[in-house]
Amino acid sequence: MLNQGLVENLVNVVADSGRKKVGHVGIKSATSAPSVSTDTELISEYVSYEGLPGNNKTGRGMRIVSEYVGGIDELWPKGKSEVEPWHDEVVKALWRRNFHNGNVIAIVEDAGNTLAFKNAFHMLRMVCGSKHPSEVTIFDIYDFFDSRPDIATGTRRHYQRQIKQMFTGMRNLGIIPLTCTPDLDIKLEKAKRGQPRPLSMEMVTNLITNAKEPYNYWFALGCFAGMRASEIAMIRGEDLETDALGNYCIRIPNGKGGTNLTVPCTDYLREMILSFNTKGRLWVVTPLYLSKLAGAEMVRLGVKEKGRDSRGISFHSSRHYYATMMLAASKSVTGQKDWDLVRQVMRHKDISTTQIYAYSDNSEVNNVAENAFSRFNFGH
């Protein structure tokens, strides 16, 4: 059951905490705190392209990209590893395909350098080595993963997807023959079901009240709306909407899996979004940079351990917290745990995915176990 007094205290503390407009957060450096830049400064620094499909069709989102990648030197500086003859050919062809398909979503710090594409191409280079992609077999892919047994399950699955996407793109562009299909034999690693790692109430109170701006806003959106880092980075003022009954909600037009759904919006989040007084993006920051900055702030406040937290605590734990609290609140309102309701607000297709996020309150099970075995006190 929820501790209503603690919840009300948290809401009051959050509401009373001072707020001021953050402005647009620039991405000058991955190590320094974000700086404030105006729209004019941003436009002069980055190239805006309005012809991409997706966000711009609905008038939402801002995709800032470079129209052309000059070659392998821009994506991979010389001296980092050997440059093979096929690298330039593949880079230029795949980048153009990515660009014209509207797949380049991230805001770039340097022209022609998006982290997602760079990482995917790096993965292809690691798998191929000195071989041309057309000569690669499934055994080369096996050897790559066998040489890295310490890769986490989720990361391994992500790498496998990257390899599949790169080989599919190369076949479509004629870089490799249609008969070159080593990626089709890749069996995606199955995600292991683990114990959810939600933030505690004390951690959330610490993050919301003591975190610096704009980090406290990011934590609020994660904890009270269940938004992912990628969704918070792209949120716009116009994404605050009202439904048919007049209830406020936050639309997430480019959610995971290409969804276009909404999440409930509390009064605190509504006031926070309206305080920016803009229909555009609240922060200009990449999802990866947002996660890094938020993680560093969690370390500063003692919520997270530096590096990989042994408890599994990260910025994404705010989403676990949201699912857990929604599940507990559903029981206090309806009399039973409403997993389907939590699945809807978490925007999952299957309840089994939701169960990975939401920590079920085991107090009833613990009480039954205590009654069942209390007679065995062994003289204590």
Closest alpha carbon to 92 in 173, 19, 148, 159: 173
Would the pLDDT of 152 be above 60? yes
How far out from the chain centre does Cα 114 lie?
16
* Average of per-residue pLDDT values in the chain: 74
Please tell me whether residue 262 adopts helix, strand or coil conformation. strand
The top-scoring range by mean pLDDT among 110-124, 164-178, 238-252 is 238-252
Does 112 have pLDDT greater than 80?
no
Phi, psi (deg, nearest 5) at residue 379: 85, 0
- Binning pLDDT at 50, 70 and 90, where does residue 193 land? low
Strand ranges (E), the chain: 24-25, 36-37, 240-242, 248-252, 261-264
Q: What is the pLDDT of residues 323-358, one digit of tens each?
A: 988 988 888 787 788 889 999 999 988 888 888 777
Residue 48 pairs in a beta bridge with 64
Report yes or no: 194 and 356 within 8 Å, Cβ to Cβ: yes
| Residue 212 clears pLDDT 90, i.e. is over it | yes
Residue 101 exposure: Cα atoms within 13 Å on the Cβ side: 9
DSSP bridge pairs for 264: 249
pTM above threshold 0.75: no
pLDDT score of 373 more than 90: no
Token pair, residue 236, equals 């716009």
Task: Using DSSP, state whether 260 is helix, strand or coil.
Answer: coil
- pLDDT at position 190 is 74
Q: Dmax over Cα atoms in the chain, in whole Å?
A: 79
Tell me the DSSP string of 320-372.
HHHHHHHHHHHHHHHSS--HHHHHHHHT-SSHHHHHHH-----HHHHHHHHHH
Question: 282 in helix, strand or coil?
Answer: coil
- Cα gap 166→74, rounded to integer Å: 19
Q: DSSP class of residue 109?
A: S
Report the DSSP pairing between strands 240-242 and 248-252. antiparallel
- Distance between CA atoms of residues 105 and 62, nearest Å: 8
**pLDDT above 90 for 204:** yes
Q: How far is CA 160 from CA 138, 155, 322, 329, in A?
A: 12, 9, 30, 38
Number of H helices, E strands in the chain: 16, 5
Asked if residue 102 has pLDDT above 60, the reply is no
* 239 pLDDT higher than 50: yes
Query: What is each CA distance from 80 to 12, 117, 143, 187, in whole angstroms?
Result: 52, 17, 22, 31
The residue whose two tokens read 């705190």 is 33
Question: Which secondary structure element, helix H or strand E, spans residue 157, and what is its range?
Answer: helix 153-172
Q: Which backbone phi and psi does 2 adopt, to 5 degrees?
A: -75, 140
Cα–Cα–Cα angle for 169, 113, 252, rounded to 5 degrees: 75
Q: Two tokens at 326?
A: 């929604």
Q: pLDDT at residue 136 above 90?
A: yes
